Structure 1
Amino acid sequence: MYLYGASGHGKVVAEIAEESGYHIDAYIDENVSKKKMLGYSVFHEPPQENIDIVIAIGNNRIRKNIVEQSALFNYVTLLHPKSSVSKRVQIDEGTVVMAGVTINAAVTVGKHCIINTNSSIDHDCVLEDFVHISPNAALGGSVYVGEGTHVGIGANIIQGIKIGKWCTIGAGTVIISDIPDGSTVVGNPGRIIKITEL
């Protein structure tokens, strides 16, 4: 297995892979100044097609760009052994679930998502592709999160909320009403401070 992205996030993903019993061959990173990380070599381009890979980059748009440009990789899903994931959860390829995460029954998680440390996702939530749920964020039941949205550290989203695509939910924000596509939201209760046209 190869990890695409030799940065801080890549260190965490490497340890999840190790604890899950995967053999890591190397990192891949376009920064030619990077030679080694955690004792693993850093390559500056993929060694071949059809390799097993996890994109270990926190930026949602960069992950999506890599996927769109690299259709011939086999994307691996990683679940930290100290996460609590219901057997009735559907998690798609390339997603990484970190330590301390709880995902309850009937949740659907899309491709290349990051479910970060100690976050909580309750029953019947849907996360589209390239979503990042940051550490200690909490989603109530039946929350829908659109593609590419980043839910910040410690944010709280009450049950039944729909959040649009490519939104940014600020750290500590409390979401009590639906959020349209492209919104940046901060505060308690959350208020939209910017909408970017998609």
Structure 2
Amino acid sequence: MAKKKLIIFPFNGNGLEALDCISFDSYDLVGFVDDNPLKKSEDYEIYTREILHTFKEFYVLAVPGSPTSFRKRKEIISSLGIASSRFITATHPNASIGRNVKIGTNCLIMAGVVLTSNARIGNHVCILPNSVIHHESVVGDYTLIGSNVAVAGGTIIGSNCYIGSGTNIINGISIGDASLIGLGSNILTNVPDDAKMVGNPARNLNAQVNKVVL
């Protein structure tokens, strides 16, 4: 059976780490797509978006996003203008996927990630190495989870969130859409939409700013 041709977007850290997660028994890497014409690589071809529309049979893994751009992930991925059926999900062979776990399309699950019973991972989610998502937790679409994050059971993380590396999240709470959780934070209470949480226990810097303005 012929291998599927694969493009990774963009040429960034997540994209390079994705190379460790892709099964090259199933996929043949064509190269990367990036919007920055100045990016160069000695090891990989870097193309413009035109290749996605010239070769509609190519599959795609789209993994943009950073602490400064995560809220635009949906907009960026949607702007590729390709059918959802062309997206793949890549899971590192050393990730542990538990019973009845559901993982959406265009997800990247890196080495050492543990997803336990009945966890639900939405579409377009990236989970970096050694993070643990416990039983019956939900991670919303377009969310990025850093490395060494612990999400206790029954937690609901909204869409378009960024969960910084080293974060611990207590069980049974919710984190609102488009929230930023800073590195090493301990989340002990529900988090509203568009929050900026930092510290131990974490506090919402956006709420403090609003109080000053009022």
Is the pair's TM-score, using the shorter chain for normalization, greater than 0.5?
yes
After superposition, give the CA deviation of every residue in 1:132-164 in whole Å (9 maximum; x if it has no partner): 110001000000000111111100001001000
- Aligned pair partner of 1:65 in 75, 97, 114: 75
Aligned to 2:39: 34
* Matched residue type, 1:47: I
Q: Kindly tell me: are residues 10 and 178 of structure 1, through their superposed partners in 2, closer, same or farther at Cα, counting changes over 3 Å?
A: same
CA–CA separation in structure 1 for the residues paired with 2:168 and 2:52: 42
Q: Kindly tell me: are residues 4 and 159 of structure 1, through their superposed partners in 2, closer, same or farther at Cα, counting changes over 3 Å?
A: same
- Cα RMSD between the aligned structures? 1.9
Which ranges in structure 1 are unaligned for 5 or more consecutive residues? none
- Aligned pair partner of 2:198 in 186, 194, 198: 186
Q: Within the alignment, does 1:96 sit opposite 2:108 as a pair? A: yes
CA–CA separation in structure 2 for the residues paired with 1:132 and 1:66: 14
Q: Which of 1 and 2 has greater Rg?
A: 2
After superposition, give the CA deviation of every residue in 1:105-139 in whole Å (9 maximum; x if it has no partner): 10111111111110000000011101111000100
Q: Within the alignment, does 1:55 sit opposite 2:62 as a pair? A: yes
- Aligned pair partner of 2:14 in 9, 13, 16: 9
Aligned partner of residue 47 in structure 1, secondary structure = helix
Displacement over 4 Å in runs of 4+: 18-21
Which ranges in structure 2 are unaligned for 5 or more consecutive residues? 1-5
Aligned-residue offset at 1:46: 3.5
Aligned-residue offset at 1:18: 4.9
- Aligned pair partner of 2:97 in 68, 72, 85: 85
Q: Kindly tell me: are residues 140 and 19 of structure 1, through their superposed partners in 2, closer, same or farther at Cα, counting changes over 3 Å?
A: farther
Q: Kindly tell me: are residues 18 and 35 of structure 1, through their superposed partners in 2, closer, same or farther at Cα, counting changes over 3 Å?
A: farther
TM-score scaled by length of structure 1: 0.92
Aligned partner of residue 27 in structure 2, secondary structure = coil
Higher mean alpha-carbon deviation, 110-119 vs 67-76, is at: 67-76
Structure 1 contact 97–114 (Cα < 8 Å) conserved = yes
Aligned partner of residue 54 in structure 1, secondary structure = strand
